[in-house]
Amino acid sequence: MMQNKLLGLSFDQLKQIKGIGPAKACQILAAFELSKRVLKVDSTNTKPTIQTPKDVIAQVSYLKNHKKENFVVLYLNSRNELLNKETISIGTLNANLVHPREVFEPAITGFSSSVVFIHNHPSGDPEPSDEDLKITKQLTEAGKILGIEVIDHIIIGQDSFMSFKDKKLISG
């Protein structure tokens, strides 16, 4: 005997209701089963957790093949779970224009508690330029003012990457 836990009625009980035959009873049970499956909250965590630079790289490894600089931000909740990933700017072969307003607007509207910056160096060399150091400092200060922690800034080269946090160029 089929019984729907959400509905609380079995197939046979539904058929006993005036106007509901076998076909309609099946439709009702199927509709409830479908809604249960659609609304089912998965007990496993489906949001990636960002703990290390390798976790970041797993999210943006595609950047190493880009011919222009791309500046991407990972927006995280208080558990370091990925809420959103957004390309903020696509620059030229060796430059990118990034402004705190564009970086932190999605963090504010998406209720992010922290962010990770990533950009690629099409040259393949992940060492930070003076401009990379300057923009990281500027963005970190903006994050402090807004109460949004900058966890790291990672530069992706062709076969390697560099983490500002690991190099102690950023505290986080």
Where residue 8 falls (left for φ over 0; alpha for ψ -120 to 50; beta otherwise) is: left
What per-residue confidence (pLDDT) applies to 54?
A: 94
Look at residue 169 and tell me if it is in a domain.
no
What per-residue confidence (pLDDT) applies to 96?
A: 73
Judge if 102 and 21 occupy the same domain.
Answer: no
Judge if 72 and 109 occupy the same domain.
Answer: yes
Q: Which residue ranges in the chain fall short of pLDDT 50?
A: 1, 6
Q: Which two tokens stand for residue 90?
A: 């696509």
Look at residue 45 and tell me if it is in a domain.
no
Which among 88, 71, 80 has a CA at the least distance from the CA of 52? Answer: 80
Sheet holding 70-76, edge to edge: 82-90, 70-76, 114-120, 149-156, 161-163
Count: domains in the chain: 2
Judge if 79 and 57 occupy the same domain.
Answer: yes
User: Over the stretch 69-90, which tens digit does the pLDDT of each residue have?
Assistant: 999 999 999 999 999 999 999 9
- Enter the DSSP assignment of 3: B
Judge if 97 and 119 occupy the same domain.
Answer: yes
CATH of the domain at 57: 3.40.140.10
In terms of residue numbers, what domain contains 26? 1-40
Judge if 36 and 58 occupy the same domain.
Answer: no
Judge if 93 and 134 occupy the same domain.
Answer: yes
Amino acid at position 112, single letter: S
